Amino acid sequence: MAEVVLFHHALGLTPGCVAFADTLRAAGHVVHTPDLFEGRTFTSVVAGVRHAEEVGFDTIVERGRRAVDALPATVVPAGMSLGAMPAQMIVQTRPGAKGALLLHGCVPLSFYGGSWPAGVPLQIHTMALDELGDVHVAQELVGAVEAAELFLYPGDGHLFTDPASPDYDEAAAALVTRRALEFLRRTG
């Protein structure tokens, strides 16, 4: 089984993020859920992003880096939207990750050095019409990363896997979970 570090989205470490982590745990994976917002949660993506801007995206990413300091190099970083930033940074700058799982967003390879480690699988999930889901960036990543999968779901919701989000889509969330569990089974 895999050891995963799951970084939350801009709403903070919500019960929905914890529920996703618990689902992975129930399948036998070890899942860490660091709180990049130090206890703060938000009811809108706009408010959460505003908070991240005030704290500083570099600070948020650094908190993610520190969260894995004591974890094995073989951890699988996973990120939900905003959490994709520290997840990608870890894979691109810390040798040893067994894979990366990105939900609701991603960033260009150039953010963290411009390359992806050879042989490290990547799985991305976002809605096809999500303006915040970085679909074009995800497509570029899939073109650049040898072992990459991109799953586009119908719709325009952003945090569609979080039951507390107005964008929640139960069917799509179930499919993300099934595909993520299969990915972790292969990488673990």
What digits encode the pLDDT tens for the residues 166-183?
Answer: 999 999 999 999 999 999
Q: Report the CATH number of the 3-187 domain.
A: 3.40.50.1820
Band (154; pLDDT cuts 50, 70, 90): very high
Distance CA 125, CA 122 (A): 10
User: Of the candidates 53, 21, 16, which has an alpha carbon nearest to the alpha carbon of residue 37?
Assistant: 53
Domain ranges within the chain, ordered by starting residue? 3-187
- Is-contact 163 175, C-beta < 8 A? no
pLDDT of residue 112: 96
In this prediction, residues 62-87 reach a mean pLDDT of 97
The predicted-structure confidence for 106-151, as pLDDT tens digits, reads as follows 999 999 998 999 999 999 999 999 999 899 999 999 999 999 999 9
Residue with tokens 């992003």: 49
pTM recorded for the entire structure: 0.97
Measured CA to CA in angstroms, residue 18 lies from 10, 109, 160 at distances of 14, 28, 15
